């Protein structure tokens, strides 16, 4: 049989006649695939570049010995260099050094500087060797020389021979740019110095960050690593390059997975749109398909024909999606950077690479969801008995299976059950599945719900009004609920997603704002730089600050990094004055704390963030050991606090305990409370007069809050984009389903025109139908979105990022979005309907179908 030609005729004929509907389906799929593919490409490019950049700093070493704290004593280096099985050992001091900002400016920038022993590094990390000028070969050992990567030179706007100022504590030191480096990755900003010079200049005499080891040939790496770790004890960890990759992967995994899930949600909405377009298009052509069946087209051929239509839409949409996705990824990396503003991958310049395997996956995903969306209408059309289907009025019966509520209720029930399951590999897999099931169940329940609701409204309206337009509109919605439900589903899907994301983001933002208010109780905060390893105050400087005029109380903080698990990012240790009789005064506690009287005498109290409970099982009352000081004493978890700043874990302890254990007297930041009647400006002025006053940076709590919320908004910008996409797809759905329905109802409108209904009344009826459907979609979408937001707030977020939050509803924003959607949908319905009333009414009645 010439099925190919017939198929082509039918496809071309349909698409020529209804190009807009085909285009809408293609755009919806293209948007979903483009978002998913772009986010995948951005994540992969950023992750690979960050991982490669981090790896390049370890050279060609087999193992790295690191301290559990950020630096350790170099005294055991000689023994390690001569250890049995070690061919070469390369000591490294790695520091993030602050770049001084000009007065009044608050710059959060640091330069990564490596202190290397040139003679050792030559064999293990030859790429990181500096290239001195031909007449100054000894610069590689000079104590004032620094070699910069070309990206660093460009960023700092310096060249060979220029001075470079860096901040160390309250001091500013000046180094000389002595040249470039042998080879670094594009965009990688690093500097290299002689290790002795770096230790001296950055006040790290006798300190190392790591020792890189190259093992002799034939040595079993795994066995050597195990033995060495036992020999070194808990104060040191032995890592491989693979551990570093795992650490980088763990650092950003939850963020990346969340973004991918949001993109998949967009693809899901697109798939629903394809389903609704295909379902309504099949319903519209029900008589035509019945005729083809009568003329001899078999069920299988009809099924094939409708699926082919869907597959072609899916293939074109997916291909376009891949092209747009690639372009969007390239643009986003260019304008927003690899972390889309979230701060996960600082200091790298990733480039987008076409990933053909991922492209194939996303293409199949786009095609797959389109075929799934087409399958239900195709099966219905193929199963329909041709003789009854040839008669008019069977359209809504074609969708009658949609009205069965049981699959929908099963989805909702299963979704509810899945919310009770724990995460898998620290990812809220069941949480996301529950969201998907709630969406599917909610949409699938629409035909039954809309029939019930509109029937009741119709019944009530029929008693109270005799106006034609509302009665006609309500009669249609009540008596053809399945077609109405398809349009409703699009509104429901998009509004529930918008509501869920808006509630989640608002809950998070309000919680972060409350948290910031709690953790910033002082009147003024002082530091020497916003970040970096070399910032901080010495004891005499602390005394001077505390004694400055106008200050009633000064608290000092010491924060440092601890590595408890080589495969996870560092955790943060914060030492500060804490009132252990009432820690909630200082810390945003999530529950009860253990009071001093109940604490054992032989353990030091620590208060841990929620992430420590999830990731390290540091539960309330548990005894733990931490690599602080030489003796690794026992600590007890005395309370759990909420931390939105460090998702990989943080521990707070009393500064006095920390100093007693570590002997470290240095602090990083100061929180100042002012005497009554003294202004912030007066205190800043008096602190500026201190000998080191010019190195101080001041922040008021309001400024820190504003800056933090600004960063929050920037990192959530991508979710706003996804919300906008969901709204656009939802409106496209309304447009597609209404134009499909009005096309199919041309004869109905013709009859109405014959019996005296004016064009204006028909348009009014369509606008009323659109408005009523959208209003119901919004109301039910809000309920569904609220349920989904509960999963996002209380399951997905704690399981992904290990923090809890309170629920807050953005009523104003939701009302605005609802109103905008309502007006747009009624308008869309109206515009779609104009086509139906613009033709000749008599012609419409006599139309063949």
Partner 1 sequence: MLELRHIGKGYASGRRVLTDLSYILDSGKYVAIMGESGVGKSTLLNLIAGLDTPDTGEVLIGGIAMSSLDDDSATRLRRKAFGFIFQAFHILPHLTLSQNIALPLLLNGISGERIEERSEQMLVAVGLHGRGRDFPRQMSGGELQRVAIARALVHSPKLILADEPTGNLDPDTARDILMLMRAEIKANGATGIIVTHSHAAAATADLVLILTKDGLRPADSADSAASHLLR
Q: Please report, as ranges, the residues that interact with partner 1 according to CB under 8 A.
A: 1-3, 5-6, 9-10, 13-14, 16-17, 287-288, 291-300, 385-387, 390, 846-849
Cα dihedral sign for 322, 327, 330, 335? negative
Pick between residue 3 and residue 459 the one whose CB is nearest to partner 1.
3
Pick between residue 390 and residue 604 the one whose CB is nearest to partner 1.
390
State the nearest-atom distance from the C-beta of 295 to partner 1, in Å: 6
Pick between residue 389 and residue 650 the one whose CB is nearest to partner 1.
389
Q: Report the half-sphere exposure of 836 (CA within 13 A, side-chain side).
A: 31
Token pair belonging to 795: 């399951």
Pick between residue 16 and residue 463 the one whose CB is nearest to partner 1.
16
Pick between residue 354 and residue 849 the one whose CB is nearest to partner 1.
849
Count of Cβ atoms closer than 10 Å to residue 754 Cβ: 12
Host H or E run for residue 90: strand 86-98
Pick between residue 134 and residue 848 the one whose CB is nearest to partner 1.
848
DSSP assignment string, 615-629: HH---TT-EEE---T
Token pair belonging to 261: 């899930």
DSSP assignment string, 28-61: HHHHHHHHHHHHHHHHHHHHHHHHHHHHHTTTT-
Pick between residue 296 and residue 591 the one whose CB is nearest to partner 1.
296
Pick between residue 6 and residue 690 the one whose CB is nearest to partner 1.
6
State the nearest-atom distance from the C-beta of 242 to partner 1, in Å: 59
CA distance between the termini of the chain: 27
Token pair belonging to 404: 């069965």
Beta bridge partners of 177: 146
Distance (Å, whole) CA 309 – CA 608: 57
State the nearest-atom distance from the C-beta of 387 to partner 1, in Å: 4
Q: What does the H/E/C string look like for 130-175?
A: EECCCCCHHHHHCCCEEEECHHHHHHHCCCCCCEEEEEECCEEEEE
- Residue that the structure tokens 């959530």 belong to: 716
State the nearest-atom distance from the C-beta of 284 to partner 1, in Å: 11
Q: Are 804 and 590 in contact (CB under 8 A)?
A: yes
Distance (Å, whole) CA 361 – CA 384: 34
Distance (Å, whole) CA 20 – CA 337: 36
Pick between residue 207 and residue 288 the one whose CB is nearest to partner 1.
288
Q: Are 453 and 481 in contact (CB under 8 A)?
A: no
DSSP assignment string, 436-450: HHHHHHHHHTHHHHH
State the nearest-atom distance from the C-beta of 24 to partner 1, in Å: 18
Pick between residue 392 and residue 679 the one whose CB is nearest to partner 1.
392
State the nearest-atom distance from the C-beta of 388 to partner 1, in Å: 9
Cα dihedral sign for 177, 178, 184, 186? positive
State the nearest-atom distance from the C-beta of 395 to partner 1, in Å: 15
Pick between residue 145 and residue 844 the one whose CB is nearest to partner 1.
844
State the nearest-atom distance from the C-beta of 816 to partner 1, in Å: 42
CA–centroid distance for 403 within its chain: 37
Pick between residue 16 and residue 601 the one whose CB is nearest to partner 1.
16
State the nearest-atom distance from the C-beta of 382 to partner 1, in Å: 10
Pick between residue 405 and residue 839 the one whose CB is nearest to partner 1.
839
Q: Strand order of the sheet with strand 634-641?
A: 623-625, 634-641, 604-609, 650-654, 571-576, 551-562, 669-674, 524-527, 697-699
Pick between residue 287 and residue 304 the one whose CB is nearest to partner 1.
287
State the nearest-atom distance from the C-beta of 470 to partner 1, in Å: 32
Residues whose CB is less than 8 angstroms from the CB of residue 607 and which lie 6 or more positions away in sequence, other chains included: 578, 583, 587, 589, 593, 637, 638, 639, 640, 641, 651, 652, 653
Burial (CB count within 10 angstroms: exposed 0-12, middle 13-18, buried 19+), residue 396: middle
Distance (Å, whole) CA 727 – CA 817: 9
Q: Are 489 and 276 in contact (CB under 8 A)?
A: yes
Token pair belonging to 622: 């548990």
Count of Cβ atoms closer than 10 Å to residue 426 Cβ: 17
Pick between residue 459 and residue 849 the one whose CB is nearest to partner 1.
849
Distance (Å, whole) CA 92 – CA 633: 28
Phi-psi region of 337 (alpha: psi -120 to 50; beta: other; left: phi over 0): left
């Amino acid at each position: 049989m010439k099925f190919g030609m017939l198929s082509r005729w039918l496809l071309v004929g349909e698409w020529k006649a209804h190009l807009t509907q085909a285009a809408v389906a293609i755009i919806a799929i293209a948007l979903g695939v483009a978002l998913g593919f772009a986010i995948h490409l951005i994540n992969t490019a950023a992750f690979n570049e960050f991982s490669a950049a981090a790896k390049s700093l370890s050279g060609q070493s087999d193992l790295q010995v690191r301290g559990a704290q950020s630096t350790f004593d170099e005294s055991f280096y000689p023994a390690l260099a001569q250890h049995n099985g070690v061919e070469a050992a390369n000591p490294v001091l790695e520091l993030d050094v602050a770049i001084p900002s000009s007065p009044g400016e608050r710059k959060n920038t640091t330069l990564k500087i490596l202190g290397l022993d040139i003679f050792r590094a030559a064999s293990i990390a030859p790429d990181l060797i500096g290239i001195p000028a031909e007449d100054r070969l000894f610069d590689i050992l000079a104590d004032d020389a620094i070699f910069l990567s070309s990206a660093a030179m460009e960023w700092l706007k310096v060249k060979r021979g220029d001075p470079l100022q860096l901040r160390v504590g309250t001091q500013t030191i000046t180094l000389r740019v002595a040249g470039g480096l042998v080879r670094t990755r594009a965009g990688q900003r690093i500097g290299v110095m002689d290790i002795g010079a770096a230790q001296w200049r950055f006040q790290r005499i006798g300190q190392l960050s790591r020792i890189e080891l190259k093992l002799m040939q034939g040595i079993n790496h795994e066995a050597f690593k195990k033995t060495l770790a036992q020999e070194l004890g808990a104060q040191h960890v032995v890592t491989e390059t693979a551990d570093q990759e795992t650490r980088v992967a763990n650092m950003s995994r939850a963020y990346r997975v969340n973004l991918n899930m949001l993109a998949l949600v967009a693809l899901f909405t697109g798939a629903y749109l394809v389903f609704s377009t295909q379902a309504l298009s099949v319903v519209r052509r029900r008589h035509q398909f019945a005729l083809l069946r009568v003329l001899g087209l078999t069920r299988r051929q009809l099924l094939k024909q409708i699926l082919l239509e869907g597959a072609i839409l899916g293939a074109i949409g997916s291909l376009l999606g891949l092209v747009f996705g690639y372009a969007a990824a390239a643009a986003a990396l260019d304008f927003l950077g690899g972390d889309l503003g979230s701060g996960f991958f600082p200091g790298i310049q990733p480039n987008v690479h076409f990933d053909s395997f991922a492209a194939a996956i996303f293409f199949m995903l786009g095609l797959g969801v389109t075929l799934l969306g087409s399958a239900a209408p195709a099966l219905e059309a193929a199963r329909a008995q041709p003789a009854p289907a040839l008669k008019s009025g069977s359209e809504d019966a074609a969708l009658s299976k949609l009205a069965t509520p049981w699959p929908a209720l099963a989805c909702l029930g299963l979704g509810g059950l899945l919310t009770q399951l724990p995460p898998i590999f620290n990812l809220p897999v069941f949480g996301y599945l529950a969201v998907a099931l709630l969406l599917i169940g909610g949409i699938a329940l629409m035909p039954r719900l809309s029939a019930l609701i509109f029937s009741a409204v119709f019944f009530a309206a029929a008693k109270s009004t005799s106006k034609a337009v509302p009665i006609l509109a309500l009669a249609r919605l009540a008596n053809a609920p399945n077609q109405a439900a398809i349009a409703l589903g699009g509104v429901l899907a998009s509004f529930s997603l918008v509501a869920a994301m808006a509630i989640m983001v608002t809950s998070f933002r309000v919680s972060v704002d409350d948290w910031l208010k709690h953790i910033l109780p002082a009147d003024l905060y002082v530091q020497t730089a916003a970040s970096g390893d070399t910032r901080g105050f010495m004891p005499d400087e602390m005394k001077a600050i505390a004694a400055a005029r106008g200050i009633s109380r000064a608290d000092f903080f010491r924060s440092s990094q601890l590595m408890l698990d080589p495969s996870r990012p560092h955790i943060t240790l914060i030492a500060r004055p804490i009132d252990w009789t009432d820690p909630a005064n200082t810390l945003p506690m999530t529950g009860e704390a253990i009071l001093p009287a109940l604490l054992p005498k032989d353990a030091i109290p620590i208060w841990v963030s929620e992430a420590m409970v999830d990731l390290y099982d540091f539960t309330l009352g548990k005894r733990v050991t931490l690599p602080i000081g030489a003796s690794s004493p026992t600590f007890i978890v005395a309370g759990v606090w909420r931390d939105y700043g460090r998702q990989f874990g943080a521990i707070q302890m009393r500064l006095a305990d920390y100093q007693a254990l570590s002997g470290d007297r240095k602090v990083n930041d100061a929180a100042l409370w002012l005497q009554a009647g003294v202004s912030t400006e007066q205190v800043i002025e008096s602190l500026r007069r201190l000998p080191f006053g010019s190195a101080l940076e001041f922040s008021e709590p309001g400024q820190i809050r504003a800056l933090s919320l600004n960063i929050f908004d920037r990192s959530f910008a991508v979710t706003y984009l996804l919300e906008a996409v969901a709204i656009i797809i939802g409106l496209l759905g309304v447009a597609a389903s209404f134009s499909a329905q009005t096309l199919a109802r041309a004869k109905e409108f013709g009859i109405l025109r014959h019996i005296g209904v004016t064009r204006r009344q028909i348009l009014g009826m369509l606008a009323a139908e659109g408005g009523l459907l959208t209003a119901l979609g919004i109301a039910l979408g809000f309920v569904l979105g609220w349920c989904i937001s509960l999963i996002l707030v209380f399951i997905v977020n704690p399981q992904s990022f290990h923090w809890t939050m309170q629920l807050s509803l953005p009523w104003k924003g939701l009302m605005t979005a609802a109103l905008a959607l309502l007006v747009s949908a009624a308008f869309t319905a109206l515009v779609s309907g104009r086509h139906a009333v613009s033709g000749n009414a008599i012609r419409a009645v006599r139309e063949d179908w």
